Amino acid sequence: MQKLYSNKGQVVTRKQLLEEIWGNDSSDESLNNIITQLRKKFQQDQHISIQRYPCIGYQLDF
Question: Contact 10/59 with Cβ under 8 angstroms?
Answer: yes
Domain ranges of the chain: 2-61
Q: What pLDDT, in 10s, does the model give residues 7-59?
A: 999 999 999 999 888 887 767 888 999 999 999 998 888 899 999 999 899 99
CA distance 23 to 60: 21
CA–centroid distance for 17 within its chain: 7
The whole-model pTM stands at 0.81
CATH code linked to domain 2-61: 1.10.10.10
